[in-house]
Amino acid sequence: MKLKEIPGALLNQLLLEAIPVGQLLETECERRPVVVSLTTIPTRLSYVHITIRSLLRQTVLPEKIILWLNAELRHSVPKKLKRLQSELFEIRYSNLTCPHRKLIHSLDAFPGSVIVTCDDDAMYERTWLENLFQEHLLYPEQIITNRGHLITYDKEGNTLPYLEWQKIRRNGHSSPALMPAGYGGVLYPAGCFMDEVTNQELFLKLAPTADDLWFKAMSYLKGTLCRCSMNPGKKPVTILGTQSFRLGHTNIHLDQNREQWNALLKHFNFTTPQPELVQDNTTRV
């Protein structure tokens, strides 16, 4: 987080935490037929209630918000998080320690449902879910993402380092090469993945720390197109104190994203098309 962003992040955080629990849970907002699914790690367990609060004050609400925790955290859930549990927000447990649990368990628990994933270290603006769902109504068979990267290869067809994949936030852009970036929020329509998507043995072998790449491979092989939202909104505000550990440091700077993508390409014997360079004139925030 940049130094100039800290005051705004702190203000957002304080405002969210000041909302009485009763006010959050007694809302009469309209519901949308989606499930919001996320996970967190031990170092963020004392902060994730802030993310949940931002999800509970959306202009429209999902049918369910599910937080998947590793089973070892069952007796370590902070009171601030426990108090938010209701018929809308549930905490469920998994034996997995990998980030894939943010989605794969919800795929099993809510078959046939639209599932929206988000990160555990961010505060989402109030129209975040409404905007994603509106885009889904226009393109019901496509995966909708607010942020994404184009998987890119050199002239010989070798995967380029992840840092050289083009970041894209061009409103309405769709491409088979587009990989949704989970931190901005991603909407997955029902039936968008290969059946192997929940094969734990396989994803732990091929992409143990790169859940976004695993989900991209599973959707591409199913023939599902990915699309950047026409109304992505502002970049989610990072919660102060959550960045002591970031999986991206390992996956990106040690180039493990490229290694895991190559493992997926080799195992499933496929490749995504070389993307055309996209002129992105969108103002970045």
Query: Hey, what domains does the chain have and what are their CATH numbers?
Result: 3-268 (3.90.550.10)
Is residue 101 over pLDDT 90?
A: yes
pLDDT at 254: 61
* pLDDT band with cut points at 50, 70 and 90 for residue 253: low
pTM exceeds 0.85? yes
Average predicted confidence (pLDDT) for the chain: 91
Give residue 127's identity as a one-letter amino acid code: T
Query: β-strands 114-117, 31-39: how paired?
Result: parallel
* pLDDT band with cut points at 50, 70 and 90 for residue 169: low
